[in-house]
């Protein structure tokens, strides 16, 4: 039985199919947008940081106190062989997922890898360990990441106040121009951590990871970022931060502890360092790091 030639579909026949495909694509994108935790420059900054390649031998770990308070450039200058990344995330609490990503980014080809580990009260709470900017970007699907990269650079903040800082490729945010209000963080802590407490389980997670890193030849410099004395007392009284207990747990695990003085004048809100304070503390910490890993 003979068959006649099969005609290719005409342009008219293709139009309904193309419309269906277009509608499906737009629907998929629209659904994906609903699941982005935030679409703004901050979130894009954290996604860029999360996706950094394994090319760094010095990593600075912690929350917002770290990503505004420690300048990787100071470490690059103090340690000739250093390539440093500030791997701090907003509201960070320490978890195995975060530490796993640290190990993926830390270059294993380096002869002198170093981790600077900032440990404050909120980083040791279950509340922060499960809900922070790191988990936001880590849980994004490829579609959500694409959408964030598409929209984030052009996102307009509903707040008319312009942000007085800039994002840097090394993960640091130098902060300038914010009015001095050292009691601002006291109210924030009182609200956010009304029921949260420092967790020995989270502290144990940190100590176990330090032991693992030390067994791999990775040096660990642990510290608490400077805050005002009032914020420090609030962390101890409200969240149950026990400095001697924390220091002992981490040094017994193999970390070197660095004591830093309080910052009643360099902290614009009592909790975070402005540019001048950040540069001063970055110099102190980077010199201690250089002494730790040697020439």
**Tens of pLDDT, residues 147-186:** 888 876 665 554 434 455 678 999 999 998 888 888 888 8
Does residue 13 fall inside a structural domain?
no
> What's the pLDDT tens digit per position in 201-260?
999 999 999 999 999 999 999 999 999 999 999 999 999 999 999 999 999 999 999 999
How many percent of the chain have pLDDT more than 90? 64
Does residue 117 fall inside a structural domain?
yes
- DSSP run (H or E) holding 223: strand 219-223
Does residue 199 fall inside a structural domain?
yes
Of residues 204, 192, 42, the one with CA closest to residue 127: 192
pLDDT value, residue 154: 62
Number of domains in the chain: 1
- Cα(109)–Cα(112) distance, rounded to whole angstroms? 9
Confirm if 175 and 165 have CB atoms less than 8 A apart. yes
CATH code at 86? 3.40.50.1110
Range of the domain at 115: 19-155+168-293
Does residue 5 fall inside a structural domain?
no
- Cα(27)–Cα(172) distance, rounded to whole angstroms? 37
Q: Can you say how many angstroms the Cα of residue 99 is from the centroid of all Cα atoms in its chain?
A: 11
Does residue 162 fall inside a structural domain?
no
- Cα(212)–Cα(280) distance, rounded to whole angstroms? 31
Average pLDDT for residues 131-146, to the nearest whole number? 94
Does residue 216 fall inside a structural domain?
yes
- Residue partners of 9: CB distance under 8 A and separation at least 6: none
The terminus-to-terminus CA distance of the chain in angstroms comes to: 86
Does residue 161 fall inside a structural domain?
no
> What's the pLDDT tens digit per position in 42-85?
888 999 999 999 999 999 999 999 999 999 999 999 998 899 99
Does residue 128 fall inside a structural domain?
yes
pTM of the model: 0.85
Residue 268 structure tokens: 């614009």
Count of CB atoms within 10 A of residue 239's CB? 21
Q: Is 60 exceeded by the pLDDT of residue 8?
A: no
Confirm if 270 and 231 have CB atoms less than 8 A apart. yes
């Amino acid at each position: 039985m003979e068959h006649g030639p099969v005609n290719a579909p005409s342009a008219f026949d293709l139009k309904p199919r193309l419309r269906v495909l277009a509608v499906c694509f737009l629907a998929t994108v629209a659904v994906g947008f609903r699941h982005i935790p935030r679409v703004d420059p901050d979130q894009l900054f954290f996604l860029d940081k999360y996706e950094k390649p394994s090319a760094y031998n010095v990593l600075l770990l912690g929350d917002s106190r770290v990503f505004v308070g420690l300048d990787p450039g100071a470490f690059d200058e103090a340690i000739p062989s250093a390539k440093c990344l500030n791997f701090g995330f907003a509201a960070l609490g320490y978890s195995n997922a975060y530490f796993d990503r640290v190990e993926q980014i830390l270059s294993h080809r380096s002869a002198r890898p170093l981790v600077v580990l900032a440990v404050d009260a909120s980083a040791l709470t279950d509340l922060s360990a499960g809900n922070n900017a790191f988990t936001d970007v880590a849980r994004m699907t490829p579609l959500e990441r694409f959408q964030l990269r598409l929209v984030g650079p052009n996102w307009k903040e509903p707040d008319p106040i312009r942000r007085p800082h800039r994002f840097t490729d090394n993960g640091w945010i130098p902060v300038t121009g914010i009015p001095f209000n050292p009691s601002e963080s006291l109210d924030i802590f009182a609200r956010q951590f009304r029921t949260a407490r420092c967790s020995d389980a989270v502290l144990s997670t940190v100590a176990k990871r330090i032991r693992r890193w030390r067994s791999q030849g990775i040096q660990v410099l642990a510290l608490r970022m400077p805050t005002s004395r009032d914020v420090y007392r609030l962390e101890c009284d409200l969240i149950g931060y026990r400095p001697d207990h924390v220091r002992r747990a981490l040094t017994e695990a193999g970390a070197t502890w660095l004591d830093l003085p309080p910052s009643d004048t360099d902290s614009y809100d009592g909790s975070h360092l402005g540019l001048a304070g950040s540069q001063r503390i970055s110099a102190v910490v980077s010199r201690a790091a250089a002494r730790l890993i040697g020439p």
